Amino acid sequence: MGSSEKVTTAPAYSYLGPAGTFTEAALAQVPEAAGKTWHSVNNVGEALADVVSGRSVAAMIAIENSVEGGVTATQDALANIPNLRIIGEYLVPVEFELVARKGTTLAEVNIVNAHPVAYAQCRGWLEKSIPHHGHIPSSSNVAAAASLLENDTADAAIAPAGIARHYDVEVLASGIADNPNAVTRFVLVSKTKELPAPTGSDKTSLIVELPDDRSGALLEMLEQFATRGVNLSLIQSRPIGDEFGRYRFVIDAEGHARDERVADALLGLRRFSPKVIFLGSYPRADKVTTEHSKRYADGIFTDARAWLAEILGD
């Protein structure tokens, strides 16, 4: 009983599996996750449900691909499931291989099994190398490779680099992604309310709904950042879903909520928008130091507050 309790209370991590996915590679970058239980799940919804239920302390999920753009399922899930917080960001290079059952040659490949996003990222190579191929969509990059061993519907599969360590497949071609610099960005999501400490190289993620009672609302939202010197590294529109023309925006702002200029922008956003979801402030994966004009230094903000307090006699 004691040991079973220990098991249930040991922190577990959920990720889009199975073993070999880019998501697993992202989770492998988290020192705290080493040696802990890893739950392989089938989709983003399951991963976040694990966090909500407490089955896992955190889930690793893909949030943006440098070629394909935002992962809309992730963005929409974060918009709809309350009380989640991003606590870390991780980058994984997108490196694809074309794999097949042992003994297959490239010339024999007609039908390619691939996750639609992976297929899109390798389309140029495929059209050049296998002009008349057909495509069978699969639910994950690893599932595509795995299915080669289960049935012969497809002749080959697009899989993450390194897949041959997990499955008994033959690598027909490596480095087949059209953009050799493609990267997928992952975030680690938990239920904690505690903000990671500012590091000087942070991001703050938000989902902001635009008020629909006026034109120029997007312009006005952007000014909340611009007038505080806060740069955005991501801005993506998503339909709210009830009717055309209503949007929420998924935003990554440079800096931490404890930076005065970011905090002030948050106040401005919250006053402006009918709904702001604060998804967290956390260290950037690329470790790039946040640059900002000295006009927006913390001291400028605290001085202004002191000045106003004196005027108001507070």
Site for a second copy in 87-126 (CB under 8 A): 116, 120, 123
**Binding-residue total with a second copy (CB under 8 A):** 72
Interacting residue with a second copy among 258, 275, 287, 289 (CB under 8 A): 258
289 is a contact residue toward a second copy (CB under 8 A): no
With beta carbons less than 8 A apart as the criterion, state whether 255 and 202 touch.
Answer: yes
Minimum CB separation of residue 166 from a second copy in Å reads: 21
- One character per residue 147-166, x = contact with a second copy (rule: CB under 8 A): --------------------
Half-sphere exposure for 64 (CA within 13 Å, toward CB): 16
Minimum CB separation of residue 129 from a second copy in Å reads: 16
Residues 179-198 close enough to bind a second copy by CB under 8 A: 179, 181, 183, 185, 193-195
Chain centroid to CA 295: 32
Q: Which residues contact 226 (CB under 8 A, 6 or more apart)?
A: none
- Give whichever of 1 and 312 is closer to a second copy, judged by the CB atom: 312
- Give whichever of 60 and 114 is closer to a second copy, judged by the CB atom: 114
Amino acid at 1: M
Residues 38-67 close enough to bind a second copy by CB under 8 A: 45, 64-67
Three-state SS at 249:
strand
- Give whichever of 33 and 262 is closer to a second copy, judged by the CB atom: 262
- Give whichever of 93 and 170 is closer to a second copy, judged by the CB atom: 93
142 is a contact residue toward a second copy (CB under 8 A): no
- Give whichever of 36 and 133 is closer to a second copy, judged by the CB atom: 133
- Give whichever of 52 and 222 is closer to a second copy, judged by the CB atom: 222
80 is a contact residue toward a second copy (CB under 8 A): no
Residues 259-278 close enough to bind a second copy by CB under 8 A: 263, 266-268, 270-272, 276, 278
Report the distance separating Cα 253 and Cα 262, nearest Å. Answer: 8
Phi, then psi, of 4 in degrees rounded to 5: -65, -40
- One character per residue 222-251, x = contact with a second copy (rule: CB under 8 A): xxx-xx---xxxxxxxxx-xxxxx-x----
Amino acid at 210: L
Report the distance separating Cα 92 and Cα 234, nearest Å. Answer: 18
296 is a contact residue toward a second copy (CB under 8 A): yes
Interacting residue with a second copy among 52, 81, 171, 300 (CB under 8 A): 300
Beta bridge partners of 254: 203
Report the distance separating Cα 302 and Cα 312, nearest Å. Answer: 15
69 is a contact residue toward a second copy (CB under 8 A): yes
Report the distance separating Cα 148 and Cα 127, nearest Å. Answer: 21
